[in-house]
Structure 1
Amino acid sequence: MAKVTLTNMCMIYDKENNKVLVQDRIKSWKGISFPGGHVEDGESLIDSTIREVKEETGLTVSNLESCGVIYWFNNETGEKYFVFQYRTEEFSGELLHKTDEGSNFWVDLEELSNLHFAEGMDERLSMFLEKEYSEGFGSWNQHQPGKLQFQ
């Protein structure tokens, strides 16, 4: 049976200050992205996102809005990798500026596109910001890095 990995990511938007919370990741998928992580067995997608955001940022988020799904398929092994993407303007708590995942900081929405993103993160931004697409799909294998197609 092929391996299926479920993950999540959440854009936290501070509407009052027109800022977005980003994470400069140092472990895996290095570079700037939004906080998130793996869905645990028996955990809902939204609950996993709330948990991951809390662990990685110290913030408690609520009222998550879906921003679509990224679906990667390994055409050699059959492995499937999903990223369920969310956004919210509702958060509370005190920000952890540094964790073992990396550093967290607020950035002006207008400056977001100038950052050094984790590979492929820049092409996903429209899913979070403009809600232009609901799915990104790509296939990959050890000889061919994938390229996402959006729809």
Structure 2
Amino acid sequence: MPKVELTNMCMIYDKTNNKVLVQERIKSWKGITFPGGHVEDGESLVDSTIREIKEETGLTVSDLQLCGIVHWHNDLTNDKYFVFNFKTEVFSGEILEETDEGKVFWVNKDELPTLQFAEGFEERLPMFFETKHSEGFAVWNEGKAGQLKWL
């Protein structure tokens, strides 16, 4: 039976200071990304994103805007892996400097490209900043990871 895994990611943008909140992931998909996590059973996509952001950053977010979806399809098992990408400028609270997922910190939006991203994260940035793509799709299996095709 094929598995379907639902995850989320959220760019938190501090427009006043031209900064975005990033996470330096140390568990899986190591490197700099925006925070996010898994959708739990019985949880909406937005609610899961709000919960994950609170757990991983300490911030409470609202007014989430969907930026697009990244869809990975395993052509051997038919498993599917989805990342629902959101952004917001509405947040409150104090950031946690570090969790078991990694360090969390603000970075100037213009300095973002100089960071050590998790593999494949850089190609997703236009989805957040330019609303350029609604979907990224790729085929993967244990022997290969295809290039995302932007739609």
TM-score with structure 2 length normalisation?
A: 0.99
Calculate the aligned-residue CA RMSD, in Å.
Answer: 0.5
Please list every run of 5 or more consecutive structure 2 residues that lacks an aligned counterpart in the other structure. Answer: none
**Aligned match of 1:68:** 68
Q: What is the SS of the residue equivalent to 1:128?
A: helix
In structure 1, give the amino acid aligned to 2:107: V
Give how far 1:4 is off: 0.2
1:77 paired to 2:92? no
Give how far 1:55 is off: 0.1
Report 1:27-106 matches (<5 A): 27-106=27-106
**Aligned match of 2:22:** 22
Q: What is the SS of the residue equivalent to 2:138?
A: strand
Give how far 1:145 is off: 1.6
Q: What is the SS of the residue equivalent to 2:145?
A: coil
Divergent runs of 4+, >4 A: none
Report 1:102-117 matches (<5 A): 102-117=102-117
**For 1:22-64, what per-residue CA distance to the aligned partner results, in whole angstroms no more than 9, with x for missing partners?**
0000001000000000000000000000000000000000000
In structure 2, give the amino acid aligned to 1:91: F
User: How much identity, in percent, do the aligned residues show?
Assistant: 67
Give how far 1:146 is off: 2.1
Distance (Å, rounded) in 2 between the aligned partners of 1:147 and 1:27 = 23
Give how far 1:102 is off: 0.1
TM-score with structure 1 length normalisation?
A: 0.99
**For 1:86-105, what per-residue CA distance to the aligned partner results, in whole angstroms no more than 9, with x for missing partners?**
00000000100100000000
Please list every run of 5 or more consecutive structure 1 residues that lacks an aligned counterpart in the other structure. Answer: none
**Aligned match of 1:128:** 128
